[in-house]
Structures are given as C-alpha cells and as structure tokens.
Structure 1
Amino acid sequence: MALNANDRSIAGFTMAGHALVHWFETAIPILLVVWLAEFDVSLLLLGLVLAPSYGLFGFGALPAGVLVDRFGAKRLIILCLGGMSAAFFVIAGASYLDSIYAIAVGLLLWGLAASVYHPAGLALISTGVEERGTVFAWHGIAGNAGIALGPFVAATLLIFLEWQYVAAILAAPGALAVLYGLSADFEATAAVDDDADAGPSDALSLSEFLANSKVLFASTFALVFVIVTFEGLYYRGMLTYLPEILHGLPAMDALALPEGLDGIEPADYIYVGLLVVGMAGQYVGGKLTDRIPPARGMAAIFAVLVVLAIAFVPVTGMGLIAIVALCGVFGFFLFAIQPFYQNAVAVYTPADTRGLSYGYTYLGEFGFGAASIALGGFVLDVSLGWFFVMIAAFALVGMVLSVALAAGLDWFADAEPTPETAPDD
C-alpha cells in the first residue's frame, strides 16, 4: 500500500533526523584519533572526555521522552537537530582555544541534544503514521545510512582539511535539516483514535511522571523494556568490539589494498559493508512488522542472532570469504530486529505516553545496553571465544523473553495492547 501524504511527510522528516543523529555519532570516533595527536593527551583522558557525551545520549532519552509528551515531537526533533549542529560548531571553535576541555563542552552539548531524537522520532511515527511498518523500515535505513556515511565522510574530508573545518562541514546538514523541519507539514496524531489523548500534555510534574511510569511498568511494556535492554547489550557489545576483532584476524592479510591507501585498514571495509547490508535488514524487518506480531518476529530473529554469535567462534579462524559472508548475514539480522521492538513499544503502550515509552526504550537500548562495553572488554582479555558466548547469551535471554511475550504472558496488571495498535495474533 502506498503511503499517504501525511505518512510521507513524517517519513521524510524523521528519516532526516535519524540519519543525522547517527551521522554525528559515528563521525566523533574519527575525530577522536586526530584530537589524540593534536592535543597530546592520553587515550584515558580522551576517553573520559568522550564517555559522558555517549552516556547522555543513552540516559538522556528518558527525560527527553517526558518532554516529548509535554511539548510534542516535532519541536523537540527540530531542537535536537539544531542542538547537534550547534554542538559541532562549538567543537570546531574549540581549536581557537587550543583546549581539549572546550571540545568536551561541545561533546556534552551533542550528547544532550542527540538524546532527544529516538523517543521523539519514534513517538511521532507511532502516533502519526498509518503504514507504520513501512515507515519504520525506511526510518531504519536512514539511520544505517548515517551510521555508514558519518565516519566515511569525516575520514575523507580529513585527508584534505584541518579537523576544525571538517567539524564545521559536518554540522551543516543539521542546520539544513532544521529549515526543512520548520517547513514540514503533517498531523502528528493521525494514526490514533480521535478520542485518544496523544497530543502534547500539560503533565510534567514529578507525580505525573511517576504515575505514568507506574502504569507502564505495571503492563506488558515492562517485559518489552527488558527485551530491548538485552538487544542493546548484544548490539552495543558486537558493534563496539567487532572492528577491533576483525583487525586482528590473520585472514585480513589476504585483502590487499592499492598503493596509496596504506592508512586504511581492510577490515574497515567489511565493517562498513556490514552496516550497509543492515539497511536491507531494516527494510525487510520493517515491512514484516505489518504481517508478523512483534513478539514472534523478535523471538525468531533473536534465535538467529544466537546462532550467528556462536558461529563467529569457528569462522574467525577460516578464510576471508567465510568471514565476509558471516558479517553480511550478521549485519542483516542485527538491524532487522529493530523495527520489531520499535513496533512492540507502539503495540503495548497507550498513545498518550508514547514519548515516555520510547524514552525508557532507549534508556534500555543505549543506556543499560552500554554495559556490554565494559563487560566485553573484560571478557575479551580472557578469551575471544568466551566473548562470543557472552554475546550469544544476551540474545538467548532476549529470545526466551520474546517467546514468553508471544505466548501471552499475563503477569502484569494491564497486559493488553492498546486498541489502535493491537496485533493480529
């Protein structure tokens, strides 16, 4: 079914926002390498400068979700885009102060602004779009495009320009997206019942926040939240350490590069290719959410992710072709699961707390999910095999919980989906 005009408008707006959030997110590590040499600081200090910004990106999603329910998604997304661009202009200006701490301020501003996007963008899709699965698919593809293009563009520009000019150029698309957002015209609650109170709310008090949170976690959303957290542990652990794991494989020596590209790691091509394949996974997963109940879809994909994590143990000792093939399949399924849990949040939450719901969702995905970075580093020091066993265990727990959700687990006070989004079980 073709998207109507309202769906297309929301799709374009949220796709731009999703691409740019990850465009900025993945460009930062490329700049990190330059800052390490520019400011003559230790990797430990630079890590301490960077960590709080990524922490805000995850943990800021919860208060951002509250603000979405209070002020509406569109204005929050516009502020997010403007804030991220302003942060990168601050980073660019930090070169004139010759201070790593000025860069830290810019990074914190970026993390604070970026934390707004996911609860705002997904709340807008869930309440405004009729063909939600299709838009979730294109939305996910846009995010993957940003993930792949951010580091590629940053690294390419750094060949020709100083880092401060690169930071300023990276900020420009965000400024353009703000202008686009201001001109976008759509109905933000077109996909919910006329009598559903899904618009901006006057409730922003602590008592209202606690009351709404209690309602959410007394419902099936509590189980969805735990499932998303385990998906986040799998996602963040694999994407953080897989590039380093690939770099260390003997099979990478077989991938020769042309002269003049000595500074590029062959494994990086495989990693970027994995992210590109993830676009197809996002699209297929999104389209399937219109046909398969979210719990069943998550259970099936988690099962595949368990097998793929275990498969990395023998495949890392095989040849280049086997490694590339496994990474391609992994990239497809890693991102195919995302539209299913995004849709699960829409199915199992009321429309008037959708921003808060997605705030909690991305607190679990990017906040608690980041714990696998620390766990993964510790386990990798022991054994590569045990690292993949740990990752597989995260997916196994997600699969078991998804099966329970699909079976109609009714441990909660309000386990029924909201009427406008109930799946055809």
Structure 2
Amino acid sequence: MNGSDWSVVKFTMVGHALFHAYELSIPVFIIIWLDIFTTTEAFLGLIVGVGYAAIGIGAVPSGILSDKYGSNRVVIVALLGMGFGFGLISISPNIVVLALALAIWGISASLYHPAGLSLLSRRIENRSTAFAYHGVAGNVGTVLGPLLTSILLIFLPWRSVAALSVIPTLVGISIAFKLPLGEKKAVEKKKNGTAVYRELYEDTQILVVSGFPIIIAAVLLYGLYYRGTLTFLPQILLDAPMFNQITLFGYTLNPTQYIYTALLTAGVGGQYAGGRLTDVVKAEYALILAFVLLVICALAFVPILTTGFISLIIMCILIGFVIYLTAPIYQTVIAEHAANGTHGLSYGYTYLGMFGIGALGAPLAGTALSYMSTRVLFLALAGIAGLAGMVSIYLLVWKQD
C-alpha cells in the first residue's frame, strides 16, 4: 500500500477500534451507574438497549449517506458523534441525560461500519490486506477498551475516565484531515430514487425465497443472547461471593472487570476458530454445534457461579470463546445462501437483526435481574439459544429438500 492508502487504512482502524472499545466498555460503567443514579437493572438495561439498538437501526441510512456525501465524511461524523456521546456521558447529572448521551452515541456508532467498509472498498486497491488490518483493529478495541477503562477506574473517578475516552476520537479526526479528497465512483450510473427502491424490493424478494428469513431468525436470536449475556455480566460477577472488591495500596480493585476483559480476549480466539471450523465442516452443522454450546454455557453458568474462583473464570472464558465463535459461522451461512448481487443487502438486514432487534437482550437481562434472578436470566438465554439451534436445524432440512 502507498502512503495515501495507508492513511485511509489507519483512519478506519482507529474508527473500528473505537467503535468496539466504546461498545464493550459500557458494561464496565454499568456497575457504577446502578449505584450513582440509584436505578434498577431493568431501567438501565432499557436505556442501554436503546443505545445499542441504534447501532443496527442506523446502518442502512449510513450506507445511503455514504453514497451521497462520501464515506470519509460519514466516518468523521461517526467519530465526532461517538466522542460527543461519551463526553456527554461524563457530565450527565441524571439518568435522563445519560439516556440521551447513550442514544447519541448509538446513533453515531451506527454510521461507522457501512461507511468505514465502503471507504476501504472505494479507496484501496489491495482490499484484502486493508480489511485484515481493519479486523485486527476491531479486536484490539474489543480487548483494550474495557481493559483500559477498568484500569483507569482504579485511579480516577468514572466521569474522568469517560471524558478521557473522547481523546482517541481526536486522533482519528486528525488523521482524516490528511486524507486525499475524492472517492472512486461507482461503475454504474446513479439511479433515481424510484429505481433504487424497486431494486431494493426485488433483491429482498430474492432473499426471501433463498432461505434468508430462516437465517435472520437465527441471527436475531443470537443477538438477544449476545446482548443478554454481556451487558450485565460484570454486575452479575460482582454479586458472586468470591469477587469482592480488593483494596491494594489504597486503591480499590474490582476483579470482575478484568474477568470480563478476559472473556472478550477469549472471544478473539473464538472468532478465528469459528472461521477455521467452517473450512472443514459444513456451515449449517457448525452453526447448530455453536448454538448447542451456547445452551450448555448458559445452563452451566449459574451452578458454577457459586462453586469457586478458578471454575468461574474458566466458565467465563468459555462463554466468551463460544459467543464469538458463532459470528463467523453465521456470516458464512449467509454468504452461502444469499444470491449473487444481494450479499450487501443480506448483511445489511443481518446487522439490523443482530444489533438492532438483538439489542432487546439488554432490557431483557435487566428485567430478569431486577424482578427475578440470575438463574431465570440464564435459563431464558439457554431457551433462546436452543430455539436458535432448532431454527438452524430447520434451515439444514430446508436446504436438503
């Protein structure tokens, strides 16, 4: 890659890392917000769920804006909005302002993926290498975001930590100013609005008859499991008897935040394993296996929650591994079932289902923890994964017929 290409890649790498760093740092703050704002898991899960839902809901508009105004401009707006959202979080005087800040963050974050991937597609010749760097940056953000947040919370008030989270967005924006202007134009002539909507309708019809609705049902259920498990996991671990806060050299340490980071780190390996698994096993079989493992993890979690420190750490690492193992598998299933020319639209609908509707997992978890119990939550999650497994079996039978 030349200097111009590398600038574009660095820009999108910063954006991708920040997206996942912000997304997965929110559960670390939830422990503090429950106390500071004297609210319930149910209500906090609702407002966090709204922020997460915006990520999926705004994906399609982001693609439209990228085509009309340029991907680099949309990515800049995404960075500014995510930074502004966390800046507003840092000064939120009450739960209402916090809800507004999370919504702003979610809407802004929704702009990133379609625009960032579009920018790489249009500006870089060696796309495979660029996408590889982009993926690595996302993994780095997934791990380092929650880890650095947890470490900073040892020494600083939570508001200061949230405010410091704004600084990396300035780095990304500074890189943007060095980018050469202009993006490669599409080969096809720009269609008018009626033609675009007609094409969207026709491509959607193609997806409907290709088994895609079955796949999206499984992905939606996976999204519920994903958010339902991760959003309140640090708080759930904090309630475990072996995870009391530790005071060291006058500083208070919360071990659960580091266990959560270990879970996400294991997820990086899970993503790789999921990709490799689909190279040697039929994708539908791999998907069924993944959902069976998710059921086992959910059913085993609560009994292990009270057995001991080491066993619970191992359980958390397994959950992280299996949750992220599933993602590349369902992506492969979608790629195999979507007709040529509809892959982009299929992933757009997938993103809406996984992150938009799947965000309902956050208020689901909050409600279960507020009015029922951790056991009920994980039984519900096991049921969700079990239903997704049955949908996957139906997909396999449908394909064979």
Matched with 1:207 is: 197
1:24-103 alignment, distance < 5 Å: 24-28=22-26, 42-43=38-39, 52-67=50-65, 76-89=74-87
Q: State yes or no: 1:171 paired with 2:166.
A: yes
Matched with 1:110 is: 105
- Specify the SS of the correspondent of 1:409: helix
Matched with 1:248 is: 239
The verdict on how the C-alpha distance between 1:29 and 1:239 changes in structure 2, with shifts beyond 3 A counting, is: closer
Q: State yes or no: 1:225 paired with 2:223.
A: no
In the TM superposition, what is the alpha-carbon distance from 1:26 to its structure 2 partner? 3.5
In the TM superposition, what is the alpha-carbon distance from 1:228 to its structure 2 partner? 0.9
In the TM superposition, what is the alpha-carbon distance from 1:170 to its structure 2 partner? 1.7
Structure 2 Cα separation of the partners of residues 8 and 371 of structure 1: 38
Moved more, 363-372 or 146-155: 146-155
Structure 2 Cα separation of the partners of residues 121 and 345 of structure 1: 21
1:115-130 alignment, distance < 5 Å: 115-121=110-116
In the TM superposition, what is the alpha-carbon distance from 1:33 to its structure 2 partner? 7.0
Structure 2 Cα separation of the partners of residues 271 and 351 of structure 1: 39
Aligned partners of 1:137 and 1:284 also within 8 Å: no
Structure 2 Cα separation of the partners of residues 273 and 87 of structure 1: 26
Match of 1:310 among 296, 299, 321: 299
Structure 1 Cα separation of the partners of residues 336 and 277 of structure 2: 15
- Specify the SS of the correspondent of 1:252: coil
Moved more, 144-153 or 218-227: 144-153
Matched with 1:273 is: 262
Structure 2 Cα separation of the partners of residues 11 and 343 of structure 1: 25
Match of 1:390 among 380, 389, 396: 380
Structure 2 Cα separation of the partners of residues 104 and 148 of structure 1: 25
Structure 1 Cα separation of the partners of residues 132 and 193 of structure 2: 32
Unaligned residue ranges in structure 2 (runs of 5+): none
Aligned partners of 1:56 and 1:115 also within 8 Å: yes
In the TM superposition, what is the alpha-carbon distance from 1:110 to its structure 2 partner? 2.0
Match of 1:237 among 228, 231, 234: 228
Aligned partners of 1:137 and 1:339 also within 8 Å: no
Deviation digits for residues 161-217 of structure 1 (CA, Å, limit 9, x no counterpart): 6666544532232232345467679xx99xxxxxxx887964655834444434433
Deviation digits for residues 110-132 of structure 1 (CA, Å, limit 9, x no counterpart): 22110123444567789989997
Matched with 1:327 is: 316
Structure 2 Cα separation of the partners of residues 326 and 52 of structure 1: 29
Matched with 1:419 is: none
Q: Which amino acid aligns with 1:23?
A: A
Aligned partners of 1:49 and 1:101 also within 8 Å: no
Deviation digits for residues 137-171 of structure 1 (CA, Å, limit 9, x no counterpart): 87555434323332333354455566665445322
Matched with 2:286 is: 297
Matched with 1:402 is: 392
Aligned partners of 2:31 and 2:235 also within 8 Å: no
The verdict on how the C-alpha distance between 1:170 and 1:372 changes in structure 2, with shifts beyond 3 A counting, is: closer
In the TM superposition, what is the alpha-carbon distance from 1:321 to its structure 2 partner? 1.5
TM-score relative to the length of structure 2: 0.76
In the TM superposition, what is the alpha-carbon distance from 1:273 to its structure 2 partner? 1.0
Aligned partners of 1:123 and 1:358 also within 8 Å: no
Q: Which amino acid aligns with 1:80?
A: A
The verdict on how the C-alpha distance between 1:158 and 1:84 changes in structure 2, with shifts beyond 3 A counting, is: same
In the TM superposition, what is the alpha-carbon distance from 1:388 to its structure 2 partner? 2.1
The verdict on how the C-alpha distance between 1:29 and 1:247 changes in structure 2, with shifts beyond 3 A counting, is: closer
Structure 1 Cα separation of the partners of residues 384 and 363 of structure 2: 14
The verdict on how the C-alpha distance between 1:18 and 1:199 changes in structure 2, with shifts beyond 3 A counting, is: farther
1:313-392 alignment, distance < 5 Å: 313-349=302-338, 353-380=342-369, 381-392=371-382
- Count of aligned pairs between the two proteins: 393
Structure 2 Cα separation of the partners of residues 303 and 246 of structure 1: 24
Deviation digits for residues 368-403 of structure 1 (CA, Å, limit 9, x no counterpart): 212233333444443443332221222222223333
In the TM superposition, what is the alpha-carbon distance from 1:218 to its structure 2 partner? 3.7
Unaligned residue ranges in structure 1 (runs of 5+): 190-196, 412-425
The verdict on how the C-alpha distance between 1:161 and 1:265 changes in structure 2, with shifts beyond 3 A counting, is: closer
Q: Which amino acid aligns with 1:295?
A: E
TM-score relative to the length of structure 1: 0.73
Structure 2 Cα separation of the partners of residues 174 and 218 of structure 1: 43
The verdict on how the C-alpha distance between 1:148 and 1:201 changes in structure 2, with shifts beyond 3 A counting, is: farther
Structure 1 Cα separation of the partners of residues 224 and 137 of structure 2: 22
Match of 1:150 among 139, 145, 148: 145
